[in-house]
Amino acid sequence: TNWSCGQTKLLRHHCECVKVIPGSAQMFVNPDRLFTFDHAFGPSASQDEVYRACIQPMVRSLLDGYNATVFCYGETGSGKTYTISGGRVITSPPLLLLDDEGGIIEHVARDVFGYLDEKLKSNEIDVATVHMSYLELYMEEVRDLLDLPTNQKVVVGARESAVNSAEELLSLVEMSSAARQTCTTRMNDKSSRSHTVLTILINQQCNNDSNTLCSSKFCLVDLAGSERVKKTGNTGKHFKESIHINTDLLAVGNVIRALSDRALNFCGKTRKSTFIPFRDAKITRLLRDSLGGTSHTLMMTCVNPSSNSLAETLNVLYFASKARHIRNHPAKQPIHTDPKYNQKLARRVMADFKMRGHILLAENEKKENNNSLLTKQQSEDRDMAEVEEDTVNGLKGLR
């Protein structure tokens, strides 16, 4: 778990209520709360510093055959998109400048292709392919951001695009990001109204003596921010979006709470089985392997240091503290040496990659799951203000 105080927006007449203790991974929240994480960064930390400390080691193990996930969580306007996608104005064609504004995606793209080049040059591998998919979850509906002309619901499985360079990958991401659902709120000029999942799939093959194939994937998840309608001033369609966002985040929180309880029970040698509610929302299904599964997972938490956001900051940090108890069991993806099997495996990996879109589409079309936290019918029937209160209280309850 990583904490980042990336937001520079301190409102007038509001003092700073969050301080990172220099040289430690601890942070202090006024008046008397101390939190400890694996890393903590203050407002002056550069994007590069954050990347090198937290993400670069994950990219290295990705190339060694481990899956990895980074997901960003926090209040609206706290800097999640800035951290993942960077703050630079979009250029065409995109430039790999890697100045202080370059986000995690840019750094990962550069390193994935850089490390693959090194491995190819040293003959460690003979063939490497990189594919990407980019999905958006908007109001419980999955959209394919790579399917730009229509940008509609996924109809034939998420498009997976082969990419040959970091520039090509970034170009696709930048074009696709323009199609993402955003709006202006009182809290953020360009607030994301959806969660996005960028997946980079890498196949590495050795043709020489052993004929090995190794596949691994990196998921970068930018969750929409939790928000209070009173603060964002959202009404109408955007109000409904807020409800969906908070409901999804509540589902993520419930999964994390259950996994954390399970880990604590296990440490306390209580063998009580804990139900993990992965099926409550699409976002939790998508994150299933990343939470408590076999991948290396980093939860990146962004907070706004202003005292105006104190309650939300405390919620987010308690939540991140819970997530820290979760123990994943990273496992290297199996390496196979039979060339016939490898051809089959390569085809199967690609099919799986496509299927993710398929499965989610099927869910788009399905009637809302009876067990879901909030069905469409309910949301129409219930007074919206009451629903908002429920989800916000639910998010608070994650403490």
The amino acid at residue 271 is R
1-35 b/e (C-beta count within 10 Å ≥ 16 → b): bbbbbbbeebeeeeeebbebeeeebebebeeeeeb
Q: At its nearest, how many Å lie between ligand ATP and the CB of residue 268?
A: 36
260 is annotated as contributing to ligand binding: no
Nearer to ligand ATP, 193 or 257 (CB): 193
Nearer to ligand ATP, 9 or 119 (CB): 9
Question: Which residues are at the interface with ligand ATP (CB under 6 A)?
Answer: 6-9, 74, 76-82, 87, 188, 190-192, 224-225, 302
397 is annotated as contributing to ligand binding: no
Nearer to ligand ATP, 50 or 276 (CB): 50
Residue number of the CB atom closest to ligand ATP: 225
Q: At its nearest, how many Å lie between ligand ATP and the CB of residue 125?
A: 36
Query: DSSP of 342-379, one letter per residue?
Result: HHHHHHHHHHHHHHHHHHHHHHHHSPPPTTSSS-HHHH
Residue whose token pair is 């299933």: 288
216 is annotated as contributing to ligand binding: no
3-class SS string, 148-203: CCCCCECCCCCCCEEECCHHHHHHHHHHHHCCCCEECCCCCCCEECCEEEEEEEEE
CB neighbourhood size of 180 (10 A): 20
Nearer to ligand ATP, 159 or 244 (CB): 244
The amino acid at residue 171 is S
Nearer to ligand ATP, 81 or 215 (CB): 81
Q: At its nearest, how many Å lie between ligand ATP and the CB of residue 319?
A: 15
Alpha-helical segments (H) within 178-309: 229-232, 236-267, 282-286
Q: How far is residue 47's CA from residue 61's CA, in Å, rounded to a whole number? A: 21
Angle, alpha carbons 126-129-130 (nearest 5°): 145
Nearer to ligand ATP, 20 or 125 (CB): 20
Q: At its nearest, how many Å lie between ligand ATP and the CB of residue 90?
A: 13
Cα dihedral 337, 202, 72, 371 sign = negative
6 is annotated as contributing to ligand binding: no
79 is annotated as contributing to ligand binding: yes
Q: At its nearest, how many Å lie between ligand ATP and the CB of residue 157?
A: 27
77 is annotated as contributing to ligand binding: yes
Q: At its nearest, how many Å lie between ligand ATP and the CB of residue 114?
A: 25
Nearer to ligand ATP, 163 or 302 (CB): 302
Q: At its nearest, how many Å lie between ligand ATP and the CB of residue 79?
A: 3
Which amino acids are annotated as binding site, given as ranges?
74-81
**Residues that constitute the known binding site for ATP:** 74-81
